[in-house]
Amino acid sequence: MTFREIYKSLRDLLRSASESAGTEALLLLSHVTGMTKERILLCFEDQIDDISSERILELARLRLSGFPLQYITKKCYFYGLELDIEDGVFIPRVETEVLVDLALDLIEREDLKTVLDVGTGSGAIAIAIALNSHCKVYGTDIHEKAIYIAQRNAKKYNAEITFLKGPFLEPVKGFLKEIDLVVSNPPYVSTSANLSKEVLKEPSNALFAGKEGIDFYRKFFADRSLLKGKDVIMEFSPEQVDHLREICFFGKISFFHDQFGKIRFFHVKV
């Protein structure tokens, strides 16, 4: 079988699972053969070995069962970075790149020095901020595997970040005074939401936050004396805007849109 033939059958197979079946087919081919996408296109008429073609079809079946491509290739992309990812750790979304931009703008405007990323997952937000500012950055998560992957990603980019395990502000309570800005893309999906089978393969701790998806915000802001004087920027789901106004009644809250025109982030000074 040639590369062209396997590419075509892979692409047709993946059409039922993905809107970008052609790209996914190339990424799978590249993952299994270790060849770059460009090289594969140059070798389109060459024969692919049987072991590789069998492995590719096996992975295509896994993909068709709803397993996200990023968990198969163990790579994801965020803010121009290629990050390691593994099953069990949330896959960064493109919307969250806007949260990084909002944070970097505020850091520059207010000359902020220390940032905490709560629920860091793969470390995506923390690493993008560390690499694009002069801030000292901390990242926390309740999930051991997330901390491990985040550390690996930070090391890959030589980003000096301290990752700590624990919920909300607990891991940093000894030096909270030092922190100027808290950023977070917390779990905010309602437990009654209808998610695709791909998203449901991601860890539920990273996604769900009670009936209305607002449990994380309620708990986070419950003891706001801890946050006095700090800036907070977080991601949320558009239908939660009124809840957030109510939860953040104590300060001036501003809302921002994502690149798809949806209201998606808020900033509050506590």
Q: Which residues are catalytic?
A: 90, 185-186
Which residue is closest to ligand GLN by CB?
Answer: 188
In the bound state with ligand SAM, the residue whose beta carbon lies nearer, of 68 and 186, is 186
Q: How far apart are CA 125 and CA 132, in angstroms?
A: 11
* 179 closest CA partner among 244, 103, 236, 122: 103
- Binding-site member from 146, 149, 154, 227 for ligand SAM (CB under 6 A): 146
Do the Cβ atoms of 184 and 206 come closer than 8 Å? no
In the bound state with ligand GLN, the residue whose beta carbon lies nearer, of 57 and 98, is 98
CB of 206 to ligand SAM, least distance (A): 4
Q: How far apart are CA 12 and CA 181, in angstroms?
A: 47
The token duo for 79 is 């803010």
- Binding-site member from 121, 127, 231, 267 for ligand SAM (CB under 6 A): 121
Residue 183-202 contact track with ligand SAM, rule CB under 6 A, x = bound: --xxx---------------
Among ligand GLN, ligand SAM, none, what does residue 33 contact (CB within 5–8 Å per kind)? none
Q: How far apart are CA 266 and CA 245, in angstroms?
A: 10
% helix / strand / coil in the chain, to the nearest 5? Answer: 45, 20, 35
> Is 210 a binder of ligand SAM (CB under 6 A)?
no
Give residues 182-221 in contact with ligand GLN (rule: CB under 6 A): 185, 187-189, 199, 207
